[in-house]
Copies of this chain bind each other. A is one copy, B any other.
Amino acid sequence: MIVETMNQEQNIKYLTSLLRNQEYTKLIHELRHDHEVDVALFMETLPDDETAFVFRMLPKEMSAEVFAHLESETQLRVVEAFSDEETTSMLNELFIDDAVDFIEEMPANMVNRILRLVSPAKRQLINRYLQYHEDSAGSIMTAEYTRLKKDMTVAEAIAHLRAVGEDRETIYTLYVTDEQRRLEGVTSIRALLLAKDEERIEQIMQHDVISATTDTDREEVAKLIQRYDFLSIPIVDQENRLVGIVTVDDAVDVLQDETTEDFRKMAAISPSEKPYLKTSFLELGKQRITWLLILMVSGMVNGIILQKNEAAWTTMPLLVSFIPMLTDTGGNVGSQSSTLMIRGMTLGEIKISDFFKVVMKESATSILIGAVLGVFSFLRVMIFDKDIIAATILALAMFVTIVMAAVIGGILPLIAEKLKLDPALMAAPLITTIVDAAALGIYFAIAAGLMSLV
């Protein structure tokens, strides 16, 4: 049977109806044929008291994988209902990275219980993993990889894989190490299968291995996997000893999390990995209010500029009505520029050394845009308000504001990077605030200049 791809919601409804009607045999049958990810999604929709009940229906070979895909609150509910035996057996089935992810989110008393239940060897491994910084490669790597020795023959290596393969998260990329576990080369099952039985691993392995260390930033590691189309990348310690691998599926999740963080930062929202609908309004308020306050305080300078120029706009009240158009356009241009920079830097297309290229390109682009929008504003005022002085003030201010906004929006993310700040903070909200103040200053300077000429 081919599973339709779009019917996740229907599937959940169907499973729920089986559960409600106590058709357990049928439910167990369906769960067994569903993908672990879909079973986990179904379990997320269940009321608290049914979670462990349904979880126990899963065949043993599925349960660890389903568990790894549950949200941590649901995981907690399951293990709270579990006996020590059940917990131990599942912990031993979990891959080390999934076990660590799970434990990291548990309350302290649960962590103690879990660490008591696992084998001493696993406890030691878990403890080591728990020490890696949460943004490091160490925190997302897994210990379930396959090592070969370079003097093995291909036939021996295949036999070895057939013997140990079951435990390994990925056996497609194979790492060759010496007795001290130092990384010497890399090969793949594909290469093994294409080689002759009697060839030595040393002959077929690649000697140039691209690796990362446990403290490499996890985003860097994910980008390496993406750049080189790897299925996994080896993680070594300071002595180049292989300690784990990061797999492509985890890399994809890291890239997605980092993107979400960028989106949030660029909208002046503090980072959080919790889905929106699962976040309480108090938490949401906290995540959003800090930056709003900072921006509001910085924005006070705009009020001061307006108060200082009261004489100008009481003489020519028309000037006030153009303020939103001027500042909004300036803000839009500035955030276009900063978005292009921030995204380009994330993709590795723009570097700090491109500073002058950016200034040139933003200047040229914004002179073009400024000229068009300047002429447009001039005509708009002439048609609707028939005031050539006001039209000239607005057109000039529009032009200068657009050029200034583009250059500020273009260089601030680069300057942030240089100062080791996150460029994503130099996005629309902050740029808008800065550009607004500059635009108002420019506007009234031009107005004062032109009005004194008349």
A-to-B contact residues, CB < 8 Å? 1-3, 5, 33-35, 37, 158, 161-162, 165-166, 171-172, 183, 189-190, 193-194, 207-212, 216, 220, 224, 226-229, 231, 236, 240, 248-249, 251-253, 255-256, 259-260, 263-264, 266-269, 275-277, 281-282, 284-285, 288-289, 291-293, 295-296, 299-300, 302-304, 306-307, 310, 313-314, 317-318, 320-325, 327-329, 331-333, 335-336, 338-344, 347, 349-350, 354, 357, 361, 364-365, 368-369, 372-373, 376-377, 380, 428-429, 432-433, 436, 440
- Compute how far the CA of A21 lies from the CA of B200 in the bound complex, rounded to whole angstroms: 38
- The verdict on A327 contacting B329 (CB below 8 Å), with A190-B165, A335-B429, A428-B428 known, is no
- Compute how far the CA of A390 lies from the CA of B99 in the bound complex, rounded to whole angstroms: 58
Partner of A336, one of B194, B259, B269: B269
Shortest CB–CB separation between residue A345 and chain B, in angstroms? 10
Instruction: Please name the residue on chain B nearest to A264 by beta carbon.
Output: B339
User: Contact at B35–A228, with CB atoms within 8 Å?
Assistant: yes
Copies of the polypeptide in the assembly: 2
- Compute how far the CA of A343 lies from the CA of B303 in the bound complex, rounded to whole angstroms: 33
Partner of A1, one of B207, B296, B372: B207
User: Contact at A300–B380, with CB atoms within 8 Å?
Assistant: yes
- The verdict on A324 contacting B327 (CB below 8 Å), with A37-B228, A276-B350 known, is yes
Instruction: Please name the residue on chain B nearest to A279 by beta carbon.
Output: B361
Shortest CB–CB separation between residue A198 and chain B, in angstroms? 14
- Compute how far the CA of A105 lies from the CA of B129 in the bound complex, rounded to whole angstroms: 46
User: Contact at B300–A339, with CB atoms within 8 Å?
Assistant: no
Partner of A317, one of B208, B236, B310, B327: B310
Partner of A376, one of B296, B338, B440: B296
Among A281, A349, A364, find the residue whose CB has the most chain B CB atoms closer than 10 A. Answer: A281
What are 5 A-to-B residue pairs whose CB atoms are below 8 Å?
A: A172-B172, A263-B342, A264-B340, A267-B335, A303-B321
